[in-house]
Amino acid sequence: MNGLLHWAQGLPGVWPVILLSMLPVSELRGAIPWAVFVEGMSYPEAFLLAVIGNFLPVVPLLLLLGPLERGLGRWRPFRRFFDWLFARTRRRGKLVERWEFVGLMLFVAIPMPVTGAWTGVAAAYLFGVPLRRAVPAIIAGILIAGIIVSLACAGVLGFWRLAAPGG
């Protein structure tokens, strides 16, 4: 990840934020702090770019996950990957299985490891949430997660200002 962050520093302002929020590891949970603390963006700008970037891969992933699993799953390394991904998602996805739309929204919204839009897509696929319900649930979850992460960043920044000498 350090190589990616080093590379991202050379890009003009908005692109590192969009790219970081598109990645399954960082998503907007990494992109908003990057935008605010490294790029010096305002919270509204960081929020908007991170939400857009986090949503960009959602529809293609929802449309392609099934065909990819069926096609690539024939080969052992890919089958292992899909088995691992789906087992992990099943363990974490009880909310989605039980409450579908609201569960998927909350699953994506909770800014913790192994949640987020990418895992939300896997959960929607596994639990058979139709595209027309999965997309709005994931968007709502992304928006909520963005608000939580932005508030957490603002709290951290406020704490640092108070802790600074003379603050």
pLDDT of 160 reads 57
Token pair 């908003």 is at which residue? 32
Q: Please give the Cα distance from 117 to 56 (Å, whole number).
A: 10
The 3-state secondary structure of the chain reads CHHHHHHHHCCCCHHHHHHHHHCCCCHHHHHHHHHHHHCCCCHHHHHHHHHHHHHCCHHHHHHHHHHHHHHHCCCHHHHHHHHHHHHHHHHHCHHHHHHHHHHHHHHHHCCCCCCCHHHHHHHHHHCCCCHHHHHHHHHHHHHHHHHHHHHHHHHHHHHHHHHCCCC
**Residue 88: band (very low, low, confident or very high) from pLDDT cuts 50, 70, 90:** confident
Q: Please give the Cα distance from 7 to 81 (Å, whole number).
A: 28
**What percent of the chain stands above pLDDT 90?**
72
CA 131 to chain centre: 18
> What would the two tokens of residue 95 be?
């909310």
105-132: per-residue pLDDT in tens? Answer: 999 999 887 789 999 999 999 999 999 9
By C-alpha distance, which of 59, 1, 51 is closest to 22?
51
- pLDDT at residue 7 is higher than 70: no
User: Which sign, positive or negative, has the C-alpha torsion 14, 124, 122, 108?
Assistant: positive
**Residue 92: band (very low, low, confident or very high) from pLDDT cuts 50, 70, 90:** confident
pLDDT of 65 reads 96
Record the pTM. 0.86
